[in-house]
Amino acid sequence: MSDIRHSAAARPWLAPLLGAAAALAMLLVPFSYQKTVAYDVSFHLDGRSAPLASGLSSALQESFGATSINSNSDGDGRLTLTARVPLEAANGVAARAEAFASVLRADGQTVTTTVEPVRETVSGNLFAMTRDQTVRVDITATGRTPAEIEADVRRQLEAAGVTGANVMVSQDDGKTTIQIFQEHEGDKAAGNGGDGVHVIPGQEGEGAGWVSDSRQDPAAHGNFEFTIDGKTPDPAKMATVKIDNNGQKLSDADLKRSIEDQLRAQGHPADVVVSDGKVVSITPIRN
């Protein structure tokens, strides 16, 4: 250790390199964390549907690429079919589940759906954790009221471990605007923001969204992935905003200016409303 200190003192440029090496070593140290490996898609039916269980199980396996189908009934004759959907087949799974349920309802069945992530404990480094911690949100906007969309998005976020999110949905002129803001404890202490995700679905499931990030911990959670009415938004319409407040509270004007400048630079001009250090809304400026 003394030799290392002597070398660093003799060569001032070596100290930053040692610091970088130590930081890299910390990123590579393995530790345990939770990883989503599949989704359980459940269909809850009334007693009249019990005779259909076998046929529905086969249809679910084929439609969702399920690795297993579990069937359970309660004392009142209600039936629950749960399909285990692997991650590689889970794109748009909530929207697909709702579409499947709609077909059953059209046939006179009473059915509700739930989608829950299946997690397992794995060992990996910080790079692996950040890659694996992907929050998937499947948004079904067509035919739903703002309150129904808000409740569904909030449920999916909580199931993925994103708690305390503020979800706001509005509908105007055939467009549905979904805004999701999340505040972390560290951000509350600093006095500004947190994560914010803003999604604007278009008529054909296209969308624009951006993530506002003032976190000090890059592994608090990883990426967000959205589907809107079963379709993935065009990545070209996504932008990323980073709010670096260095632990200091930004004024509302400074926070507004920073977000608007970054969005404009990425081709997404918008009017941002900030109140008491928090983003209230982001409204795209359409040409």
Domains in the chain: ranges and CATH: 33-123 (3.30.70.120), 135-287 (no CATH)
Percent of the chain scoring above 70 in pLDDT = 54
Smallest Cα–Cα separation from 71: which of 54, 93, 47? 54
121-136 residue pLDDT tens: 766 554 555 555 667 7
Residue pLDDT, tens place only, 85-108 = 988 888 778 878 888 888 888 888
Given a contact cutoff of 8 angstroms between Cβ atoms, the answer to whether 101 and 43 are in contact is: yes
At residue 54, the pLDDT reads 76
What is the rounded CA–CA span in Å between residue 97 and residue 85? 11
Residue 251 has pLDDT above 80, yes or no: yes
Does the pLDDT of residue 242 top 90, yes or no?
no
- Lowest-confidence region among 60-74, 98-112, 120-134, 154-168: 120-134
The whole-number average pLDDT for the span 199-228 is: 44
Label the pairing between strands 68-73 and 175-182.
unpaired
